[in-house]
Amino acid sequence: MKAKRMICFAAFAAVTLVSTAALAEMPKYVFFFVGDGMSSAQIQATEAYLTTKNGGKATEAKDLLKGENRLNMSKLPVQGMQTTYDAHALMTDSASAGTAFACGIKTMSGVIGMDDTKTVSYKSIAQLAAEKGKRIGIISSVSLDHATPASFYASVPSRGELNTIAKQMAATGYDFFGGGGLAATEADSIKTQMQTNGYTILNDRKSILALKKDPKSKVLCINPTLQDAAAMPYAIDRPETNLSLAEMTEVAIASLLTRKKDSKRGWMSRDEGFFLMVEGGKIDWACHANDAMATIGDTLDFDDAVGVALHFYRTYPSQTLIVVTGDHETGGMTVGHATTGYSAYYDRLLDQTSSFQAFGMNEWKAHKEANKDGYNRTSPHNLESSTEMLGLMKSVFGLEWASLNDYQKEKLEYAYDKSMSGENDNTTDENKLLYGGYEPIIVTITHILNERASIGWTSYSHTGVPVPVFAIGPDANRFAGFYDNTDIAKQMAKSMGIWQQLPIVKTETAQ
C-alpha cells in the first residue's frame, strides 16, 4: 500500500511541477537591479566592511554571518550565476552587457540595443513590457543616457551618441526616470522636448520626495548635485540635499504604482503593474579607479535600494519579482593581498571620508595649485616633507604615514612626484600599469589604503569573471543555475508574459 502511494505521489510530482510552473501567478511588479561592475569580490568586501562598521570583526565568521552584516541581495533565497562576455570580448562593456539584459542578444562592446553588425535594432524588455501595459521606471546613479539605462530604451551603434540616446529616451513614454542627469551635449533642448512630451522635470529633493504622496505619471527626477559626467556623487560624497538610490527607488515605486486611467490609450486603464530597472552605476566607476571605499559606499547605497524593493515585496509577495545582479566585474578586485596574507583589516577603511573623485576635485586640486610653483622636480621625494599632503592623506583617507612600510612610502613618493610634475602619460608601460590614467598620487593612496585592508586590484578595466544573480518572488527560480547574461532578458521576458521568443527586432524606424 505504501509503495503504491509513493508511486502515485511520484506520478503527481512530475505533472504538478509542470502545472504549477504554468499556473504560477505572473509577477505584476518586476524589479531589475544592476550593480555596474559588481561581482562576488565587491559584495564580499562590502559585507566585511559592513561587519566592521557595525562593530563586529571582519575576521570572525560569527560576525560575518550575522544577518545585519549581510547585504539584502545576499539574503535573497534564489541565487544563480551568469557569464558576462559579449559577442567579441571576454571582458564585456556596459553597453553590450546592458543589451544582453535588455534585449537578450550578444553584441559588440559599445553598441546599445543593436546587433554586432550595428544594423539591426532590437526591442528591450522594458519596451515590450510597456507595450503590454506595464509602467516603466529607469533609475541610475550615473547619467540617464549612460550605457546601462540606455540599453532599456535606446538602439544606437555607439554608446557615445549621447544626443541620439537622450532623444530616444525623451520619446519612450516611460513613466519614471530618476537619479543622475543627462550627459548629452543637447541635454537642455532634450529636456524641453521631454516637457513637450508630457514629462514633469524635478530637480530638488523636496519636490522629488513629494512624489511619494502625490505621484505623477511621467516624471524625470534629477538629483540637484551631480559630480562627474552628470552622475550622482559617490554615495560617500553625497550631500544631504541629494536623494540616495534607495530614496529614488521609493519615489519611483510610488510613481509607478498609482496608475491613472487614460481614455486615449485604452490599455493604460488596466493595472498591469510595473518594471523598474535600478542601476548602481558608480560602483563601476569606483572600481575603475581602484577605490575600495567609494566602491563599498556605492554598493551599500545600491543594496539599500534593493532593501526598498524588498520592503515592497513584503506587501505584495505573490506579485513581486526582484532580480539583482551585476553586468560584469570591474577592476579585478580581490578579497586578499600579498602584503596582508591571511589577515584582514577592514577597520583601516573606516576613516576614508571622500571618494578619489571628490578628493581630486577638492583637496588635491587646491594642494597642487598651492604647491606647484615651489615644487622642485629635480629633487624628488618631497612627499615626506609635505606636512600638508601627509595631513590630507590622514584626514581624507585615514592613511597615517608612520604606519606605512618603506616600500609603500617609496611608491607614494614616486607617485607624488609624477602628480606634482604632471608626468601622467598613460601611454608609458609603467604608468599604464601603476596608475591607469588616474592621478598617480591619488590612485596610489587608494591602492595602498586598500592593500592595507587586504583588498587587491589588477586592472582599471572590466574583467571577465562570472557574476552572481540573486532573486526573490514568483518565478524567481528562473534565475537559479549557471547561465548566460542573455538568458536574464529571456527569463524576465517570460516572467512578464512577453510570450514571444526574444530577441525581437524593432520594425519601426529608430527615433
Q: Bin 242: left if φ > 0, else alpha if -120 < ψ < 50, else beta.
A: beta
**Interface with a second copy includes 12 (CB under 8 A)?**
yes
Measured from the CB atom, the residue of 203 and 405 that comes closer to a second copy is: 405
**Alpha-carbon distance 109 to 281, whole Å?**
17
One character per residue 95-114, x = contact with a second copy (rule: CB under 8 A): -----------x--x-----
**Interface with a second copy includes 23 (CB under 8 A)?**
yes
One character per residue 338-377, x = contact with a second copy (rule: CB under 8 A): xx-xxxx---------------------------------
Cell of 478: 528562473
CA neighbor of 88 nearest in space, from 106, 104, 103: 106
Measured from the CB atom, the residue of 43 and 305 that comes closer to a second copy is: 43
In angstroms, what is the minimal distance from the CB of 451 to a second copy? 8
How many chain residues bind a second copy (CB under 8 A)?
81
Q: Which of 229, 482, 501, 510 binds a second copy (CB under 8 A)?
A: 482
CB atoms near residue 264 (< 10 Å): 5
One character per residue 377-396, x = contact with a second copy (rule: CB under 8 A): --------------------
Measured from the CB atom, the residue of 97 and 170 that comes closer to a second copy is: 97
Region from 81-89, 348-356, 365-373, 501-509 binding a second copy, contact rule CB under 8 A: 81-89
Q: What is the DSSP string of 454-498?
A: T-B---SSEE---EEEEEESTTGGGG-EEEEHHHHHHHHHHHTT-
Residue 437 Cα distances to 368, 441, 489, angstroms: 18, 11, 34
Measured from the CB atom, the residue of 388 and 410 that comes closer to a second copy is: 410
Region from 121-129, 220-228, 360-368, 430-438 binding a second copy, contact rule CB under 8 A: 430-438
CB atoms near residue 74 (< 10 Å): 18
Q: What is the DSSP string of 225-276?
A: ---STTPPPPGGG--TTSPPHHHHHHHHHHHHH-----SSSGGGGS---EEE
Region from 118-126, 146-154, 257-265, 455-463 binding a second copy, contact rule CB under 8 A: 455-463
Site for a second copy in 393-422 (CB under 8 A): 405-408
**Interface with a second copy includes 335 (CB under 8 A)?**
yes
Measured from the CB atom, the residue of 49 and 313 that comes closer to a second copy is: 49
Region from 61-69, 185-193, 232-240, 262-270 binding a second copy, contact rule CB under 8 A: 61-69
Measured from the CB atom, the residue of 265 and 381 that comes closer to a second copy is: 381
Contacts for 176 with CB less than 8 Å, ≥ 6 apart = 135, 136, 137, 138, 139, 218, 219, 221, 251, 252, 255, 256, 276
In angstroms, what is the minimal distance from the CB of 310 to a second copy? 15
Contacts for 304 with CB less than 8 Å, ≥ 6 apart = 72, 244, 245, 246
Q: Which helix (H) or strand (E) holds 58?
A: none
- At position 100, the amino acid (one-letter code) is A
